[in-house]
Amino acid sequence: MVCPALAALGLAGCSPSIETDQARLCRMALPALMPPGAVLAILSAIPDPDGRGLAVAFSAAEPGAASERHRAACRFREPGRPRESRDLAGLTLDGEPLGEARLFALVRYWLATPEGRAADPAPLHGLQRAPRVSRPAAYALQMAVDGLPLAAVYALLAAAYSLIYGLIGRINLAFGELAAAGGYAAAMTALALAGLPPAPLLAAAFVMAGAVALGWGYSTARCVFLPLRGARGQQTLVASVGLAIFLEELLRIAQGDQASWMTPTLNQPFALARAPGFVAVASPMIFVASGVALAVALALVVLFRLTRAGREWRAYADDPLAAEMLGVSPAATTARAFALSGTLAGLAGAIMTAAFGAVGYALSATLTLKALAAAIVGGIGSLPGAFLGGLVIGAVETAWSAAFPIDDRDIAVYALLIVFIASRPSGLLGSRESAVMPLRQPRS
């Protein structure tokens, strides 16, 4: 039963996707085309191969009459997300196209009004099949689901921090910029491949984000950190701050001051549970983001347990001098670690862009600090602790946003960081010895 389900899921991901806002505008038009009082039910929606429209099959039942099946086809000016209701270029109902006058009136006096937006006959998929729960349970479920993308982003960035700190005992404060670079790469890849099915589009965006951030991470190792292997911790920290400022300005000059937006993908909401006056919803992208983070975590376990590069990393992190005497190259091991940590940061940026829709260079500083907090809470230097810390920070942010003013959310995160530094500096899974021992100076 599992294999056919996975196969069906894969085929669905490789099929043309329905653009959420196109489908919403098309559904909003249907009540205006039916007799007053008719009850509509959406039966199916099939996207056009060129991404410029869709066909909607629905039933309409007038009061005291049997329901009748209808079919509407909507066409838009361009593929992708429509920016305004006027982008609806044509509509056909049961094979008869609407004239220009009727289409203009529909767009101007119905789709652009609050009444039209409220008349969507199917705002949520699966609402009737969603289980009924209490209102607190539905609200808690909604908060938990909303926190998954944040936890995935923080976990990947915290793992990048721990990967470098566990190897050379240094903190790289430029991971937020690497994540922003990966987010820009994902957004531009999605724009270039607009119209493809979700699975190949997201795969290409994630691969490009990881590749770009890998190159940036390897370059930072060769240009900044390897030349400073013999420097003190404060000197390396200052160099990483300068690197972060340089990369942030580079992104600002290259991409501009405005945020870059990624075309929404797999963002069709569906109902998880319903309660009186509240419905818990989610979108497929939330679970894609969580799945990517989980897959990366499992891949890191395999990498560090079963591969030569993983054994060399563990040996060098445990005793640099002994590892070097046994043939482990410090420069190659460090460069590989920075390349891998850059890949993790790039994937975090791609997840952030795909889940929330936008990426900007100004987000890098906030990501850097919160991911560092996640690494410290989980136990900096511990990869399992990094993922646990990301989950904790994401849960704290979500819970605070649900119960208290969102403007004070960052203060709560940094307050939690202070508590951990004061009471448990080794973090949840880190060893106390690694947290308090002096930083080693590896051989050059």
Name the strand (E) or helix (H) holding 337.
Answer: helix 330-356
Averaged pLDDT for residues 81-87: 86
Map out the domains of the chain as residue ranges.
2-118, 135-436
pLDDT value of residue 440: 44
DSSP state of 328: -
What span, in angstroms and rounded, lies between the C-alpha atoms of 232 and 238? 10
Segment 279-290, tens digit of pLDDT: 888 889 999 999
Segment 316-337, tens digit of pLDDT: 988 989 999 989 999 999 999 9
Q: In CATH, what number does 135-436 get?
A: 1.10.3470
Segment 156-176, tens digit of pLDDT: 999 999 999 989 888 899 999
What span, in angstroms and rounded, lies between the C-alpha atoms of 114 and 165? 53
| Mean pLDDT computed over every residue of the chain | 86
Segment 354-407, tens digit of pLDDT: 998 888 888 788 888 899 999 999 988 888 889 999 999 999 998 888 888 888
What span, in angstroms and rounded, lies between the C-alpha atoms of 195 and 177? 29
- Give one DSSP letter per residue of 89-149, joined into a string: EEEEETTEEPPHHHHHHHIIIIITSHHHHHT-S-SSBTTTTSPB--HHHHHHHHHHHHHHH
- Residue 397: partners with Cβ closer than 8 Å, 6 or more residues away: 147, 150, 409, 412, 413
pLDDT value of residue 431: 63
Q: Looking at the predicted structure, is the pLDDT value of residue 223 above 60?
A: yes
What span, in angstroms and rounded, lies between the C-alpha atoms of 348 and 345? 5
Helix-helix angle 284-306:330-356, to 10 degrees: 170
- Cβ burial, residue 341 (10 Å; 0-12/13-18/19+): buried
